Amino acid sequence: MSKFFSLVVAVILMVSSLTLQAGSKSSAIKLDPRVALGTYKGIVEDHLGGVLRTARVIALTSEAQSAKWQSVKPLLDRLSNDLATDATVWFVLPDGSYYSTETGAVSDQNLKDRQYFPKLMAGQDVLGDLVISKSTGHRSIIVASPVMVNGKAVAAVGVSVRVRLLSGLLESDTKLPDNAYFYALDPDNKIVLHRNVDRMFKSVSDVGDESLGKAFKAVLTKDQGIFNYTLHGKKMSSIFLKSATLGWYFFIAQEQK
């Protein structure tokens, strides 16, 4: 899975010289920014989708269906070792008690109060919920699949994908200029991924101001488009595209000179 991620990321190297400014000149090959945006969105979707597919496969094994930590632990350790972006891989039981590859049994925490927990226990996958990890404290994207036996959830396999690591992989491989960057917002205007680590999991209003938050909220009634705005006195030009898979909005933005 990590090798696949690396191969897909390599595609985006072609867009390192991209510009959003109309009429600008460059000796490099010019690509439509929409191609870069679609590629960026696809990388994230494919990475998280790959994590989910692996969780589903593990959930089908006899080790997971035993609902015993010691049985499933080797499979989850292997997943954690192969995945460059995980904060932890975990195994949760119907009472909300859980184990993680980081610490084993987590005796002082319970996942029953997590918003995604009832969905898992109802036999549904979880993809893209944002949380502060209870076991690690990291800002994370939840990817999880229930373990079903005779139509009943007896456990669930989950991965807390660390947003800082996912953003870091994208940042290191895209090589965008300093005045341009990718970012992603969830439907509530919360920043999921960003070059600036301090902005992740903050709302647009927290980063800018209330009027900017309202402007973004109005724009995100569309599935795609162009959006010009001002942030901290800098004029920004951006294009955006909604992910049908995650419900997030992916942006490429560049400061205008």
Q: pLDDT of 60-96, one tens digit each?
A: 999 999 999 999 999 999 999 999 888 789 999 999 9
Query: Which of the listed ranges 3-12, 59-68, 218-227 does the model predict with the highest average pLDDT?
Result: 59-68
Structure confidence at residue 39 as a pLDDT band (50, 70, 90):
confident
- How far apart, in whole angstroms, are the C-alpha atoms of residue 83 and residue 5? 10
Residue 2 in this model has a pLDDT that exceeds 50: no
pLDDT-derived band of residue 52, with 50, 70 and 90 as boundaries? Answer: very high
- Mean pLDDT within 210-223: 89
Tell whether the model's pLDDT for residue 153 goes beyond 80. Answer: yes
CA 174-180-207 angle, 5° bins = 115
pLDDT at 20 over 60: no
State the pLDDT at residue 8. Answer: 30
Q: Please count the CA atoms within 13 angstroms of the CA of 8 that sit on its side-chain side.
A: 19
> What's the mean pLDDT when you consider all of the chain?
84
* pTM for the predicted model, two decimal places: 0.82
Count other C-beta atoms under 10 Å from residue 82's C-beta. 12
pLDDT range class, residue 22, cuts 50, 70, 90: very low
- Which two three-digit tokens encode residue 67? 């609902």
Cross-strand bridge partners of residue 155: 147
The answer to whether residue 114 scores a pLDDT higher than 80 is yes
Question: Binning pLDDT at 50, 70 and 90, where does residue 23 land?
Answer: very low
Please check whether residue 148 is in contact with residue 59, taking contact to mean a CB–CB distance below 8 angstroms. Answer: yes
On the question of pLDDT at 136 being above 90, the answer is no
pLDDT above 80 for 4: no
Question: DSSP secondary-structure letter at 172?
Answer: H
- Contact criterion met (CB below 8 Å) for 120 and 156: yes
Separation CA 98–CA 159 (nearest Å): 12
Model confidence over 173-192: pLDDT tens digits?
Answer: 666 667 778 899 999 999 99
Helical ranges in the chain per DSSP H: 2-11, 33-59, 62-65, 69-82, 117-121, 163-174, 204-207, 210-219
SS3 content of the chain, % helix, strand, coil (to 5): 35, 30, 35
pLDDT computed for residue 6 by the predictor = 34
The CA distance from 84 to 1, in Å, is 9
Sheet containing 104-106, strands listed edge to edge, beginning at the edge strand earlier in sequence: 104-106, 98-100, 86-92, 152-162, 139-149, 126-132
Q: pLDDT tens digits for 200-212?
A: 999 998 888 778 8
Q: What local confidence, expressed as pLDDT, does residue 231 receive?
A: 86
Higher pLDDT pick, 102 / 26: 102
